[in-house]
Structure 1
Amino acid sequence: MAGIKEIRTKIKSVQNTRKITKAMEMVAASKMRKAQDRMRAGRPYAMKVRAIAAHLMQAHPDYTHPYMVESSETKAVGIIVVSTDKGLCGGLNTNILRLVLGSLRDFDEKGVSTQLTALGSKAAGTIARIGGKLVSQEIGLGDEPNLERLIGAVKVQLDDYMAGKVNAVYLASTRFINTMKQEPTFIRLLPLPTGLKDPFQVGDEGIENNEASTSQYGWDYIYEPDAKSVIDDLLHRYVEGLIYQAVAENMASEQSARMVAMKAASDNAKSVIGELELVYNKTRQAAITEEISEIVGGAAAV
Structure 2
Amino acid sequence: MPASLSAVKHKIASTKSTRQITSAMQMVSTSKLNQIQKHTKTYQVYAAKVNGVISHLAQAHIFNLVSAGGNSSVSPLAVQRPVKKTGILVITSDRGLVGSYNSNIIKSTLDFMREHDLNKDNTVFLTVGNTGTEFFTKRGMNIAYQYSGVNDVPKFVDVREIVKTVTEMYGNEVFDELYLSYSHFVNRISSRVQTYKMLPISEESLESTVDDTESDSEEHQVGPEYEFEPSETDILSAVLPQYAESLVYGAILDAKTSEHASSSNAMRSASDNADDLIASLELQYNRARQAAITTEITEITGGQAALE
Q: Which runs of 4+ in 1 moved over 6 A?
A: 198-201
Aligned residue in 1 for 2:43: 42
Alignment of 1:6-21 (within 5 A): 6-21=7-22
- Residue of structure 1 in register with 2:213 after alignment: 203
Match of 1:175 in 2: 184
**Separation of aligned partners in 1, 2:54 and 2:277:** 55
For 1:194, the aligned partner's letter is E
Separation (CA, whole Å) in 2 of partners of 1:170 and 1:155: 16
Of the three residues 77, 80, 86, the one matched with 1:70 is 80
For 1:58, the equivalent position in structure 2 comes to 59
Matched with 1:194 is 203
Q: Could you tell me how far apart the structure 2 residues matched to 1:109 and 1:258 are?
A: 31
Following the alignment from structure 1 to structure 2, what is the Cα–Cα distance between the partners of residues 38 and 231?
28
2:230 is the alignment partner of 1:220 = no
Indicate yes or no: 2:109 matched with 1:100. Answer: yes
1:121 match: 130
Partner of 1:130: 139
C-alpha change, 1:284 and 1:110, in structure 2 (3 Å) is: closer
Of 40-49 and 252-261, deviating more is 40-49
Question: In structure 2, what is the Cα distance between the partners aligned to 1:219 and 1:25?
Answer: 53
* CA deviations over 1:148-182 (Å, ceiling 9, x no partner): 34232343332232233321011111111111111
**Identical columns (%):** 31
Contact persistence 1:138–1:150 (CA under 8 A): no
Contact 2:55 / 2:215 at 8 angstroms: preserved in 1? no
SS of corresponding position for 1:295? helix
Q: Is there any run of 5+ residues in structure 1 with no aligned partner, and where?
A: 208-214
The answer to which of 157-166 and 104-113 deviates more is 104-113
Instruction: Give, in whole Å, the separation in 1 of the partners of 2:40 and 2:197.
Output: 21
Cα 1:52/1:134, change in 2 over 3 Å: same
Q: TM-score, normalised by structure 1?
A: 0.88
Question: Of residues 246, 253, 258 in structure 1, which corresponds to 2:251?
Answer: 246
State the Cα RMSD in Å: 2.6
Three-state SS of the structure 2 residue aligned to 1:203 is: helix
Q: How big is the shift at 1:108?
A: 4.2
Tell me: CA distance 1:6–1:130, structure 2 relative to 1, closer, same or farther (3 Å).
Answer: same
Shift in CA distance, 261/205, structure 1 to aligned 2, threshold 3 Å: farther
Distance 1:94 1:205 in 2: 33
Matched with 1:257 is 262
Give the 5 Å matches for 1:76-91: 76-91=85-100
Pairwise CA distance, 1:205: 8.5
Deviations 1:22-69 (A, max 9, x none): 111111111111111122222232232123223223324575533223
The question of 1:282 aligning with 2:283 is answered: no
Figure out how many residues of one structure are paired with residues of the other and give that number: 293
Q: 1:270 aligns with which of 275, 282, 292?
A: 275
